[in-house]
Structure 1
């Protein structure tokens, strides 16, 4: 019998009950009807998302993507996840010629996309495990957000709902203490940029349609690159919004600023000037200054993307990104761009979102763990068991549990879906 001091669990607290629920179910969907949208905008996850977007926007003002900014070893390891995903994409490029049986090109692409998604599921967890091995208490939650960031294997499309899941992933990295304040700029201009580059390749390779709310002013697969692209230019911009469509300027600055690269891609992929291929964006860029462009884009993102049922119904929530309501005293802060924050050696950098204070394991298990003398990895087999007990939703291949050591394809429900299609 254990001699460890016991904890009173006969009348469990709300913290114990919540921790037990997370242990059994893992991340779950919460927005299932229009009435749930009101709970969403009062949730901790919503407030953390707004805070992360705005604080990141303030941090990247005046930063060019090609200029130097702090890049930690942790950030480099996270970026390596995308090296593997790019390699998987090359392996699963649709082969439209040489088939003995004539198969429609759309069917070939959908099969290849499902195959890529299947292998991506396993890759995300194994590589994320390696990237944050010393701090992976929340590895399952972060992995669930990340693997929902690359489209929908059921409807075979991509949209802001998937981008929101990657935003949850980024925010969760800071909430978990895996990324620190010094990683704020690199998370947007390096890690997020790698994500957008991969999404662009996925959309092109597999011909994925856009899944978005028609009220959104940006007719594209993603929105945040436009928002953070305007934030980059809100300080020390070498050109005005109305000038950014000029050919010479695009060639000179498309690698420096996200929004210029996006405009270049739109014009090349859709074959025409911005006024014809993206009229609403072209209209927004007629605003005189970049801070004003940012405010217009931010307002549209909050009102027509984050508040859209079509977007949020696909979101999942857990510990780091919680659906619990915030206190009434909590206020949303908007970013007012155009001036940099005070900088100096004596000024302590703050993370873009508050650190999550986790629930202790002993409150659930009923005893207090001894403090280890040496640091151990949180990635023990015991810690991983909760991955096996997460809730699997019907007809949602993205909700299948990750089972350590099990090769891709041994989960019957996933295999049957990916081979047979929706």
Structure 2
């Protein structure tokens, strides 16, 4: 059994969604065999996670990154934390080594992040939520890649989104934070992930990114396509392949920043190195692309044992069956 922590000294409120005496648990793996996948797909964690992606997907629909939105003190605190994590990369430049992929300096970077994660979260969270840190910090630490294999993939991306979801579950973030959660926090995370991939030449996790759209990521394409719904300047969707559109709008739209990144790191015809995205460009509307990507994500990432076997479950995102409402 993992050690549990208890929270609560008052009644349940909007800012404190957890019941009093909530017991936090250090997250553990629970999907150990293929047959456990059926338990995962009916679990509270699955419903919470997919619901969280859908909620934020709706919140940012048709909005550019430059949209005027209320930024709470807590969003600023977590943004500052991510800036600190990003800056640590400067302390661990890649070392000279014979192999092309997987620079071992990444291990030192990740070790430093893990040694600082408790302090970072203490600084970002209200003191009454500090008992949640042993549970939520594991999701943060697992967000950046695997130290043994020096790889990164959709499972690590998923861990960061679970971390964000947990911040809502404990009441540190609220519904008013939905837009800046994607536009500030997730976008900063994406910048860190790309920098790690390039600095340490990280391998795509899995069979060369088989569960992602650009070797590494998936969710930025979901949320990024929602942003582009009803955007007349980037319609029809095939326009996302045009250089002038990418140059003009990549700072305002996550989907286009992803395409720009791919074009920077890959050579050759786009249709060859990014066939799935090339196929998407032929779809008639961004709304159809968005819904198609959500379905694809559930099928190609959330239904894949090699990804889900690494997912961690605790008190906030439990493996127990989602209660059926009468």
Please report how far the alpha carbon of residue 285 of structure 1 lies from its aligned counterpart in structure 2 after TM superposition: 1.6
2:242 to 246, 268, 283: 246
**Using a 3 Å threshold, how does the CA distance of structure 1 residues 217 and 178 change in structure 2: closer, same or farther?**
closer
Secondary structure at 1:255's aligned position in 2? Answer: coil
* Cα contact 2:104–2:150 (8 A) shared by 1: no
Please report how far the alpha carbon of residue 237 of structure 1 lies from its aligned counterpart in structure 2 after TM superposition: 4.2
Please report how far the alpha carbon of residue 268 of structure 1 lies from its aligned counterpart in structure 2 after TM superposition: 1.5
* Cα contact 1:216–1:300 (8 A) shared by 2: no
- Structure 2 match to 1:94: 94
Task: Establish whether residue 124 from structure 1 lines up as the match of residue 109 from structure 2.
Answer: no
Task: Establish whether residue 306 from structure 1 lines up as the match of residue 302 from structure 2.
Answer: yes
Counterpart-to-counterpart distance in 2, 1:273 and 1:129: 47
Task: Establish whether residue 283 from structure 1 lines up as the match of residue 279 from structure 2.
Answer: yes
Task: Establish whether residue 59 from structure 1 lines up as the match of residue 54 from structure 2.
Answer: no
Please report how far the alpha carbon of residue 92 of structure 1 lies from its aligned counterpart in structure 2 after TM superposition: 0.2
The TM-score normalised by the length of structure 2 is 0.88
- The runs of 5 or more residues in structure 2 that have no matched partner are 1-18
- Structure 2 match to 1:260: 256
Counterpart-to-counterpart distance in 2, 1:166 and 1:157: 15
1:201-240 matched pairs, under 5 angstroms: 201-212=195-206, 216=211, 218-240=213-235
* Cα contact 1:60–1:185 (8 A) shared by 2: yes
Please report how far the alpha carbon of residue 272 of structure 1 lies from its aligned counterpart in structure 2 after TM superposition: 3.4
- Structure 2 match to 1:402: none
Task: Establish whether residue 111 from structure 1 lines up as the match of residue 107 from structure 2.
Answer: no
**Using a 3 Å threshold, how does the CA distance of structure 1 residues 43 and 237 change in structure 2: closer, same or farther?**
farther
Q: Following TM superposition, where does structure 1 have runs of at least 4 consecutive aligned residues deviating by more than 4 angstroms?
A: none
**Using a 3 Å threshold, how does the CA distance of structure 1 residues 217 and 156 change in structure 2: closer, same or farther?**
closer
Counterpart-to-counterpart distance in 1, 2:228 and 2:251: 13
- Structure 1 match to 2:6: none
Counterpart-to-counterpart distance in 1, 2:63 and 2:79: 19
- Structure 2 match to 1:145: 139
After superposition, the CA RMSD in angstroms is: 2.1
Please identify which structure carries the higher helix content.
2
* Cα contact 1:266–1:277 (8 A) shared by 2: no
Counterpart-to-counterpart distance in 2, 1:194 and 1:104: 31
Task: Establish whether residue 75 from structure 1 lines up as the match of residue 108 from structure 2.
Answer: no
Counterpart-to-counterpart distance in 1, 2:30 and 2:318: 10
**Using a 3 Å threshold, how does the CA distance of structure 1 residues 318 and 237 change in structure 2: closer, same or farther?**
farther
1:15-414 matched pairs, under 5 angstroms: 19=23, 26-96=26-96, 103-104=97-98, 106=100, 110-134=103-127, 135-212=129-206, 216=211, 218-240=213-235, 241-329=237-325
* Cα contact 2:94–2:105 (8 A) shared by 1: yes
* Cα contact 1:44–1:322 (8 A) shared by 2: yes
- Max Rg structure: 1
Please report how far the alpha carbon of residue 69 of structure 1 lies from its aligned counterpart in structure 2 after TM superposition: 1.5
Counterpart-to-counterpart distance in 2, 1:224 and 1:166: 11
Please report how far the alpha carbon of residue 273 of structure 1 lies from its aligned counterpart in structure 2 after TM superposition: 4.1
Counterpart-to-counterpart distance in 2, 1:85 and 1:192: 13
* Cα contact 2:214–2:262 (8 A) shared by 1: no
* Cα contact 1:56–1:185 (8 A) shared by 2: yes
Please report how far the alpha carbon of residue 261 of structure 1 lies from its aligned counterpart in structure 2 after TM superposition: 0.8
Counterpart-to-counterpart distance in 1, 2:214 and 2:179: 26
Number of residue pairs matched? 305
**Using a 3 Å threshold, how does the CA distance of structure 1 residues 143 and 327 change in structure 2: closer, same or farther?**
same
Secondary structure at 1:61's aligned position in 2? Answer: coil
Please report how far the alpha carbon of residue 116 of structure 1 lies from its aligned counterpart in structure 2 after TM superposition: 0.6
The TM-score normalised by the length of structure 1 is 0.69
Counterpart-to-counterpart distance in 1, 2:92 and 2:219: 27
- The runs of 5 or more residues in structure 1 that have no matched partner are 1-14, 97-102, 331-422
Counterpart-to-counterpart distance in 2, 1:217 and 1:286: 19
